[in-house]
């Protein structure tokens, strides 16, 4: 059988699963504690690292409590021109930007956040981690430890240096994993797929940890399943909206208390 992308990816998945088993268990425990207390699990990434946040929620098989922090300015909507890749590549490396976005997000003490970045050197991810830690959140980085170049950020830190726990995708520095004879570079990227797989593992382990505490949260189910309708989906969106309103109110109170102080 040909040794192209699938077989190489499977090996990386097995390596990542084994290497991260203890970390995944600990993160799921901490995530379940945040959710059981009514908090949120926030997700952040820029560039292609936005994709795991969108894969996590809303998603069939995921559940209420996850909150993707999607800033359209660090997502690409075009290859070239307005909303293109060059713009986001510049912005995600620019210091002192991302806090302007995060100031409007309901990040509260006791919540958790998972931050995705293959390199772990971009300002957006590092400053999100620093911002979250300052506000009492449990911070998880999903990155590749193989990226071990000196920090570019003025803090002297990389994402893995700031996070409370690091989950290693084991993706190689170049990301692409299939060498092609006669080509100077390999093809077929791995980091985003691995990040998504590790995220679904966390979703499953967090649900299991919650169940052991007697907690069940509403799960998205596909309307293609017999007995499930679009109305069921709308109900879950309503529950999510209520949780977000509660989180925003808590965030606002913290801001008001800070201003008084």
88 touches 75 (CB < 8 A)? yes
* pLDDT for residue 182 is more than 90: yes
Phi, psi of 100 (to 5 degrees): -65, -35
Give the CA distances from residue 49 to residues 26, 43, 101, in Å, rounded to whole numbers and listed in that order.
23, 10, 17
Task: Say if residue 257's pLDDT is above 80.
Answer: no
- Kindly report which listed range (109-113, 212-216, 228-232) carries the lowest average pLDDT score: 228-232
What's the Rg (C-alpha) of the chain? 19
Asked if residue 131 lies in contact with residue 105, where contact means CB atoms within 8 angstroms, the answer is no
pLDDT at site 56? 96
The 10 Å Cβ neighbour count of residue 75 is 19
pLDDT at 261: 66
Q: What is the pLDDT of residue 253?
A: 85
- Residue 247: burial class (beta carbons within 10 Å; 0-12, 13-18, 19+): buried
Pairing, β 176-178 against β 187-189: antiparallel
pLDDT of residue 103: 94
Q: Residue 209 is encoded by which pair of tokens?
A: 């940890």
Q: How far is the C-alpha of 204 from the C-alpha of 198, rounded, in Å?
A: 10
22 pLDDT higher than 70: yes
Distance CA(210)–CA(36), nearest Å, equals: 7
Q: Quick one: pLDDT at residue 1?
A: 55
Helix, strand, coil distribution of the chain in percent, nearest 5: 50, 15, 40
Percent of the chain with pLDDT over 70: 99
Write out pLDDT tens, residues 56-96: 999 999 999 999 999 999 998 889 988 899 998 999 999 99
Give the residue with greater pLDDT, 4 vs 148.
4
Q: What is the pLDDT of residues 128-144, one digit of tens each?
A: 999 999 999 999 999 99
Q: How confident is the model at residue 100 (pLDDT cuts 50, 70, 90)?
A: very high
Q: What pLDDT, on the 0 to 100 scale, is given for residue 176?
A: 97
Q: Check residues 1 and 102 and name the one with the higher pLDDT.
A: 102
53 to each of 137, 197, 240, how far by Cα in Å?
17, 12, 16
Give per-residue pLDDT as tens, 216-229: 999 999 989 999 98
**How far is 67 from 200, CA to CA, in rounded Å?**
15
Q: What was the pLDDT predicted at 135? A: 96
pLDDT of residue 81: 86
Residues in the chain: 261
* Rounded distance between C-alpha atoms, residue 136 and residue 101, angstroms: 18
Average pLDDT score, the chain: 94
Does residue 175 have a pLDDT over 80? Answer: yes
């Amino acid at each position: 059988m040909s040794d192209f992308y699938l077989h190489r990816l499977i090996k990386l998945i097995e390596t990542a699963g084994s290497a991260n088993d203890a970390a995944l268990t600990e993160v799921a425990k901490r995530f379940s504690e945040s959710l059981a207390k009514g908090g949120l699990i926030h997700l952040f990434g820029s560039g292609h690292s936005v994709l795991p946040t969108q894969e996590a929620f809303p998603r069939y098989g995921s559940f209420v409590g996850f909150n993707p922090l999607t800033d359209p300015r660090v997502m690409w909507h075009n290859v070239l021109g307005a909303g293109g890749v060059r713009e986001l590549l510049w912005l995600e490396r620019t210091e002192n930007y991302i806090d302007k976005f995060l100031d409007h997000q309901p990040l509260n003490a006791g919540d958790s956040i998972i931050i995705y970045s293959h390199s772990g050197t971009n300002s957006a991810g590092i400053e999100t981690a620093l911002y979250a830690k300052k506000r009492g959140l449990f911070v998880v980085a999903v990155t590749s430890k193989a990226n071990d170049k000196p920090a570019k950020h003025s803090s002297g830190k990389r994402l893995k240096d700031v996070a409370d726990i690091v989950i290693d995708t084991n993706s190689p520095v170049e990301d692409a994993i299939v060498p092609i004879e006669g080509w100077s570079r390999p093809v077929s990227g791995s980091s985003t797929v691995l990040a998504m797989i590790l995220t679904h593992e966390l979703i499953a382990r967090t649900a299991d940890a919650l169940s052991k505490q007697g907690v069940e949260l509403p799960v998205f189910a596909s309307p293609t399943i017999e007995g499930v309708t679009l109305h069921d989906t709308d109900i879950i969106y309503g529950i999510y909206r209520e949780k977000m309103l509660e989180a925003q109110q808590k965030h606002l109170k913290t801001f008001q208390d800070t201003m008084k102080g």
